[in-house]
Structures are given as C-alpha cells and as structure tokens.
A and B are shown apart, each in its own frame.
Chain A
Amino acid sequence: MAAPLNSVGKPQAERLSYNSTSFQKKTRSKLVSIPGTRPSVQNGQLLVSTGVTSLDYLLGGGLAVGTVLLIEEDRYDSYSRMILKYFLAEGVVCRHELFVAAAQDNPDDILQELPSPILDDVAIPKPMEQPRLSCDPQDSLDTMKIAWRYQNLPKVQSALASSSRFGHYYDVSKTMDPEIRQGAKCHRFHPSEQHAHSSNTHSPMLESYSAMLKSLQEVIHREGFDLAVPMSKSRNILRVGLHSLGSALWGDDLCCHDNPKHRHALTTFLYGLRALLRSSLSVAVVTVPSHLIQDRALMGSITRLCDNAIALESFKGSEREANALYKDYHGLLHVHQVPQLNCLASQLPDHKDLAFKLKRKQFTIELCLIYYDNYFLCKTCVPLLESETADECQEQKSCDDAKI
C-alpha cells in the first residue's frame, strides 16, 4: 500500500509547489504598486487609465504603459482636445508626472483648462462615524460638518484616497483647483522657446521634433522613468501629452501640401517616441489633425507607428448634426488600431458602430444604436436611411404642427 500512497502523495506535493511558485510569480512584480495603474487581464501589461472610463474599456482595460495612443482630431479639435485633457487630469489625480507639448498655444493653457475631478469617494465618511448620524440632531450637525470638511481636504489626502481607484470622473464645467494641479510635477515643451541649433541637415526629422524628443529623453533620464536604470526610490508614471502634431505650427508641412517636403518627419519622430516609451515607464497620447492630411498612405504609416489609434468624427458643422437620428450623440468614434502587445491576437472591440457624447460629468462612448421604425439599427445601415429619415422627420414635425 505504501507505493500507491507515495505515488499519490508525490503529485500532490508537486502540485502544491507548483501552485506556490506560480503564486509568488504574481506578487513578485513590483510595478503594480504604482498608484493609478493595474495589470491587464489579457497579457499582464501594466495599464493606466485614459481618464475616460468607456475609452479604457474599448482599449482593452486601459492604455498599456510604454505605448502611444493616436487620436485623429475632429474637425474643430474640440473633442480630441477634451480627451487629451482628461488624460492629463487623470495623471494629476493619480499623482503621475506630466509632459505636455503644444505648438498652437502654450502648454500651460492646456493645463489650466483641465477638468475638475469628482472625488465622491473622498466625501464618504468613515464607518466609525456613521453610527453618530442616528444620534441627536446636534451630533448629526457635527457629522455634517465633518463631511463638509472632508470635501475640502488638503490635496495630498484627497489624492491618496482617490488613487486606489482606476479611472475617475470629471466635471467639465469646472476647471481643476490650481492647488491640486500644482501637486503634480509637470514638464512643458513649446517649440518657440527652443533655440534652433541645427546639428544634422540630412536627418529627416524637423528641429522642433528632435528638440522635443531630446527634452523628453532628458526628463525620462533625470526623473528616473528609465527602466534600464535601477532605482531605489518608488517608481512613478510619466504621462506624455502631445497636441496637434503635424500641424503647420510645428514647422511641418504635412497638412499644407499634397506632396510634403518633410514627408518623413512625423513618422521618424513617432519611431523615436516609441523607442523612448518602450524603455521607460511612460505613456503618451498624441493628437494629429488627420483631416488635413491628404495622403491616406502617409496616415496609414503614422497609425502603424502608434499602438492604439482612434479617430473622432464630430457632427459639429456636418449635415448630420441636424439629422434627428443622431440627436443623442455628439459624434462618431472609430477604432482604427488596437495594439498586439506580447500576444499574437489583438483584442478588437466587439462592435465598430460607436458614438460618443460629452455630458457635463462624463464622456461616454457607446454602441450607436438608432431606433427607427420599431427596429434598432446600427450605424452602418444608417447612411442609407439618412436622407430619407431627415425628410420624414420634417414631415412628422409638420404633421405635429398641424395637429396643434
């Protein structure tokens, strides 16, 4: 009997040891301790939130650290700029460091416009104090005071309390409290402040781009985001927000000519950016005015050098704005690319018919289902109906008017 027992016992022991080692492997990773990050369910990548919860969901849980999100701007750059601000605001709330570059206006302007976070979890009183609520009114007044005080907590504590969560909501109607904003370390880059020092005339990159790449590399090295350098102090994430790359203000002519002279400037820059991000704890959001770039092949190679790519198509100024079918939405969102990181198959979203709307407290992206003629239709069938329904809606309206 001993032999069978042994043979039974042995695999168990092996299984046990196997279990314990696999368990240790998970806890060994030190990266998870960074606030505002979480590991991906699919491939174990470290993710950060974009600040827009539904966009996180769309991109497979969030933005993987070391990758670039390309946002193709809508025509007036209102919603793409909004997403960039959400991304930066999320960084401030999670106490990440920021690197902001813009040519159109000063990076400080973007930082001042950051939306105010709704830190509702901070206002909840601690469980110890809850019983006092049921006591006499004087006590409840006291607790009210405490609750009131909680709302005005100093910035450090509010950040600590909120950092446990992944992704926050923001109130777009208010700008972020300067005190909170100054709590986050921020590096700015504006091309006009850089002095031109031409080093290499053969390089396809523009001076503004190579200066930005250099300044970003300096920040990464100085502030210890480099993965190659072992650091003793706790790690943090660098969020890089680059606004309207490729526009004429960067000295680029992609948007101005059919056959641009600096055709490879932006793609070379993006290659360098990818190289920098892959070797550091940083993540970038880049917006590009793609509607101005005529060459679709060029746009394709720009997309390929970024990891995630989404495009925003706002209804503003288009004839769809007036169409009753789209009255619930502000625009359409196209997912052009999701990254394949450390795996073969990429996680494309289930649906391609996506629309967004910007509410005061939330930027939502949802499946664009349109209720028409007792059926729910998806966006792809809609263009056929568009003109028809527009007429019908008009008719309906005139009928209603006639009834009155």
Chain B
Amino acid sequence: MFTELNSILNASPDSLTPGEFILLSDRRSDASFLIHHFLSFYLRARCRVCFLGLVQSFSHYSAVSQRLGVSLTQAKEKGQLVFMEGLKEALSTLIPQASSSGSQAMDFLRDPAAGLRSLYEFVRSSAADSGAAGGWGPPVLLVDDLGVLLSLGVRAGAVLDFSHYCRAAVCSQLQGNVVMLLRCDGEEEEEEEEVGEEEGSGWLLRGLTHQCSLSLHVEVCWRRRRRDAQHKQKQIFQYKVHDKGASFFARGTSSAVL
C-alpha cells in the first residue's frame, strides 16, 4: 500500500467508496506495481478479496505483498482472500490429461472463441460467498491482467463483456469494488483503430475507460483520470518505484531534477 497514492486518491482503508470500478492501464511502461498496491490496500481494509492472478505465480504476489506488509498466505487461510492462480489452472487445460479435473475457471482456454463465461461464474460464486464467511467487508475483485486474455485468443469483445458482468455483479449488486489491469501493446495507433477492427488492446482500453469510474494510466508519465457524473478531471503525476513502495510527485519536482 503506497500512502502517497492514497492521499492523492483521497482514499484510506478505513473509508471505502462502494461500487467503484478502477481501471489500471499502461503503454510502453509497467503498471503492475499498482495492482500490488490495491491488493494490499483492500486486504488492509478487511475486504473479502478475489484475485485473478493470470500472469504470475502465487509466490510472486506473496513475496511482494510481504514487502508491503501483508501476508497473502494468512489472508488465504483466514478465508479473506480467494486466489486463482491462472498459470497453475491453465496447465491442466493446455496439456489435457486423463486424471486431471481442475477448476472450471480457465475453461476458456479450450475454446477461447466461446468467451469468458466460466471465468465469470468463478468470480460470481467466490464474490457471493462473502456473506457466509463472517466478519469481512464488501467483496473486491482484482484482475492481473486482462491483456493476457487477449494473448490467449479471447476476443476483445468477450473481455469487455466479462468486465461488464463483473461490474454489474460486484459493484452494483454487492456494493464492492473492481480493479482491473490492462497492459497495452506498442504505440497508439490512431489510424489502425479507425479501421474499426474489433481486436487489440487499444480498442479494449477505450471500451473499459468508458465503463470505469477511476482510471489510472501509466505511461512515460502517469495520469489519473476521475470521471464524475458531469465532468472529467485529469491529473498527471510522475512516479518512481522503489524497493518497498512508490513515490509520486507533481511534474518536474522529483529530487533528481531539483
């Protein structure tokens, strides 16, 4: 949890805004440090967290969270965290074996064209459980990252459907929060996007930006865009990732410059 980011966003683990959909995105940069922030943030806020870790192993997230002062293993044991390790689940689908009967969450790998229904079912069931296991706050869904779904052959439209369903289930019905990370490829190709191809991360990013209530975009510079009912407000900060956190500052005020 980066305290500086919290103060920028006016957020603290004690006072959560229900029903928020936060989009993290990047281009020619790496926004994955933000997902670690939100993971530790919501665990501190005593929310029940469902984490779809599609790109890295559990040990990676666990080691980073340890540095940020949160133990994922303990959270898992206490029933606060549901961790779906995409890499582990994918193997049984990618290399079919007679004996294996893994969870259905990664079923879309068998036929990516069919969409992400199985993954959504997993999210809904684990988010709806939160009422039963006592003591935890509203459910939170974290996804790292949506871009890998595109690489695995899922259509951008299907990913957009998935995010929309998740938002309806978690944000609207259960009054929880959703945080999704999307890592975009390459340059901003304006001309190509105008052709109207329903492919690629640029198209998906525009669709998701339309859905979300708060979008954090990491580029060579870092941008925060908050959308209220009436007006859009955009703030730009510069950042530096350290060993155990990140610091943010207004443009041109880094200690390296001053």
* Chain A residues packing against B (C-beta within 8 Å): 43, 199-200, 202-205, 210, 213-214, 217, 263-264, 267-268, 271-272, 274-276, 278-279, 296-301, 304-305, 340-346
Cα-based distance from A297 to B148 in the complex (angstroms): 13
| B59: A residues at CB distance < 8 A | 342
Question: What are the interface flags for B152-189 relative to A under an 8 Å C-beta threshold, 1 for contact and 0 otherwise?
Answer: 11000000000000000000000000000001011101
On whether the beta carbons of B110 and A267 are closer than 8 Å, the reply is no
On whether the beta carbons of B151 and A278 are closer than 8 Å, the reply is no
Cα-based distance from A267 to B245 in the complex (angstroms): 31
On whether the beta carbons of B94 and A205 are closer than 8 Å, the reply is yes
Q: 8 Å CB contacts to A: which residues of B75-110?
A: 87-88, 90-91, 94-96, 109-110
Q: List 15 A-B contacts (CB under 8 A).
A: A200-B96, A202-B114, A203-B109, A214-B95, A271-B94, A271-B148, A272-B95, A279-B57, A296-B185, A300-B185, A301-B148, A301-B150, A304-B151, A304-B183, A344-B246
On whether the beta carbons of A297 and B200 are closer than 8 Å, the reply is yes
Cα-based distance from A204 to B94 in the complex (angstroms): 10
Q: Per a CB cutoff under 8 Å, which of A202, A264, A276, A304 touches B147?
A: A304
| A301: B residues at CB distance < 8 A | 147-148, 150-151, 185
Q: Per a CB cutoff under 8 Å, which of A202, A275, A340, A343 touches B87?
A: A275
On whether the beta carbons of A275 and B151 are closer than 8 Å, the reply is no
On whether the beta carbons of B151 and A296 are closer than 8 Å, the reply is no
On whether the beta carbons of B67 and A268 are closer than 8 Å, the reply is no
Question: What are the interface flags for B47-86 relative to A under an 8 Å C-beta threshold, 1 for contact and 0 otherwise?
Answer: 0000000000101100110010000000000000000000
Q: How many residues of B contact A (CB 8 A)?
A: 42
On whether the beta carbons of B33 and A344 are closer than 8 Å, the reply is yes
Tell me how far the C-beta of B160 lies from the nearest C-beta in chain A, rounded to whole angstroms. 18
On whether the beta carbons of A297 and B186 are closer than 8 Å, the reply is yes
Q: Per a CB cutoff under 8 Å, which of A264, A267, A268, A305 touches B94?
A: A268
On whether the beta carbons of A305 and B148 are closer than 8 Å, the reply is yes
| A275: B residues at CB distance < 8 A | 87-88, 90-91, 94
Tell me how far the C-beta of A298 lies from the nearest C-beta in chain B, rounded to whole angstroms. 7
On whether the beta carbons of B152 and A264 are closer than 8 Å, the reply is yes
Q: A203-B94, A271-B94 are in contact. List 7 more A-B contacts (CB 8 A).
A: A203-B110, A203-B111, A204-B112, A272-B90, A275-B94, A301-B151, A345-B242
Cα-based distance from A217 to B94 in the complex (angstroms): 11
User: Does any Cβ of A come within 8 Å of B14's Cβ?
Assistant: no
Q: Per a CB cutoff under 8 Å, which of A43, A272, A298, A344 touches B241?
A: A344
Tell me how far the C-beta of B45 lies from the nearest C-beta in chain A, rounded to whole angstroms. 20
Q: Per a CB cutoff under 8 Å, which of A205, A214, A274, A342 touches B64?
A: A342
On whether the beta carbons of B201 and A297 are closer than 8 Å, the reply is yes
Q: Per a CB cutoff under 8 Å, which of B30, B36, B57, B185 touches A297?
A: B185
Cα-based distance from A77 to B32 in the complex (angstroms): 33
Tell me how far the C-beta of A59 lies from the nearest C-beta in chain B, rounded to whole angstroms. 17
Which of B30, B152, B187: most chain A CB closer than 10 A?
B152
| B151: A residues at CB distance < 8 A | 264, 267-268, 271, 301, 304-305
Cα-based distance from A305 to B145 in the complex (angstroms): 12
Which residue of chain B is the closest to A204 with respect to CB atoms? B153
Tell me how far the C-beta of A245 lies from the nearest C-beta in chain B, rounded to whole angstroms. 14
Q: What 5 pairs between A and B have smallest CB-CB spacing?
A: A300-B185, A342-B63, A264-B153, A202-B111, A204-B153
Tell me how far the C-beta of B180 lies from the nearest C-beta in chain A, rounded to whole angstroms. 16
Tell me how far the C-beta of B233 lies from the nearest C-beta in chain A, rounded to whole angstroms. 28
| A296: B residues at CB distance < 8 A | 185-187
User: Does any Cβ of A come within 8 Å of B244's Cβ?
Assistant: yes
User: Does any Cβ of A come within 8 Å of B113's Cβ?
Assistant: yes
CB within 8 Å for A345 and B241 given contacts A296-B187, A340-B32:
yes
User: Does any Cβ of A come within 8 Å of B190's Cβ?
Assistant: no
| B183: A residues at CB distance < 8 A | 304
Q: Per a CB cutoff under 8 Å, which of A202, A203, A264, A272 touches B91?
A: A272
CB within 8 Å for A210 and B95 given contacts A278-B57, A342-B59, A342-B64:
yes
On whether the beta carbons of B185 and A298 are closer than 8 Å, the reply is yes
Tell me how far the C-beta of B125 lies from the nearest C-beta in chain A, rounded to whole angstroms. 23
